[in-house]
């Protein structure tokens, strides 16, 4: 296979340079809140959406239009079980230009311990799109979600006032998410 390496750094270079990857690469961005710098490791959100939307393994499962599903023949009991069966998709579709594609963005997060970084913790934020059915989202083997960002966490112990500390943690979260989601503001009005 020609995978000769003498240390982990060289192995990582082989993985990065020679193995095919469908995911965008991570970049580190510094966020400064209350005079303290925090590292946020993120992928470009638009590239992640393109990867999920363009994955050929997902093509047979993708939903592009809203649908009504009913539990009875008289169509009096409506079923809501996938993103495209909800009212939001119908309401949004009405306002878009003909030919525009709705790609609902769904984010989920989870706090995890990162022992390699001196017992620090981080909030992992995952991205998926509402065009994929939930059976794809729920199976990691289907690659229906992409790790979007490692949000920094901190106890901010140097801030002694508890209310000020909570406010600063909230500001950190919102600053990171605002920067991360900014590209969606440009893409959203056009569909």
| Residue 59: how many other CB atoms lie within 10 Å | 9
| CB neighbour list of residue 90: distance below 8 Å, 6 or more residues apart | 66
What is the tally of structural domains in the chain? Answer: 1
Write the pLDDT tens digit of every residue in 20-64. Answer: 566 788 999 999 887 888 899 999 999 999 999 999 999 999 999
Which DSSP symbol is given to 23?
Answer: S
Write the pLDDT tens digit of every residue in 146-191. Answer: 999 999 877 777 888 889 888 988 899 999 999 999 999 888 766 5
Residue 117 has pLDDT above 70, yes or no: no
DSSP bridge pairs for 63: none
Residue 2 has pLDDT above 70, yes or no: no
Any domain includes 18: no
Any domain includes 14: no
Any domain includes 17: no
Any domain includes 116: yes
What pLDDT does 28 receive?
93
Domain containing 107 equals 24-190
| Residue 86: how many other CB atoms lie within 10 Å | 17
d(C-alpha 42, C-alpha 127), whole Å = 12
Any domain includes 29: yes
**Phi, then psi, of 136 in degrees rounded to 5:** -80, -40
Q: How far is CA 178 from CA 12, 111, 155, in A?
A: 31, 19, 21
Any domain includes 8: no
Any domain includes 157: yes
This prediction has a pTM of 0.80
């Amino acid at each position: 296979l020609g995978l000769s390496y003498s240390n982990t750094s060289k192995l990582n270079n082989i993985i990065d340079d020679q193995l095919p990857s469908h995911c965008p690469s991570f970049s580190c961005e510094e966020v400064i809140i209350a005079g303290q710098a925090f590292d946020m490791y993120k992928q470009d959100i638009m590239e992640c959406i393109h990867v999920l939307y363009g994955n050929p393994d997902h093509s047979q499962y993708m939903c592009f239009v809203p649908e009504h599903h009913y539990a009875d023949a008289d169509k009096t009991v409506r079923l809501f079980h996938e993103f495209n069966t909800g009212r939001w998709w119908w309401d949004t579709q009405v306002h878009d230009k003909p030919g525009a594609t709705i790609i609902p963005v769904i984010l989920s997060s989870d706090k995890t311990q990162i022992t390699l970084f001196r017992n620090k913790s981080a909030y992992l934020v995952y991205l998926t799109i509402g065009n994929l059915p939930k059976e794809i989202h729920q199976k990691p083997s289907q690659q229906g979600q992409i790790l979007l960002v490692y949000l920094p966490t901190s106890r901010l112990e140097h801030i002694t006032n508890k209310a000020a500390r909570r406010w600063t943690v909230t500001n950190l979260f919102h600053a990171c998410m605002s920067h991360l989601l900014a590209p969606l503001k440009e893409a959203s009005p056009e569909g």
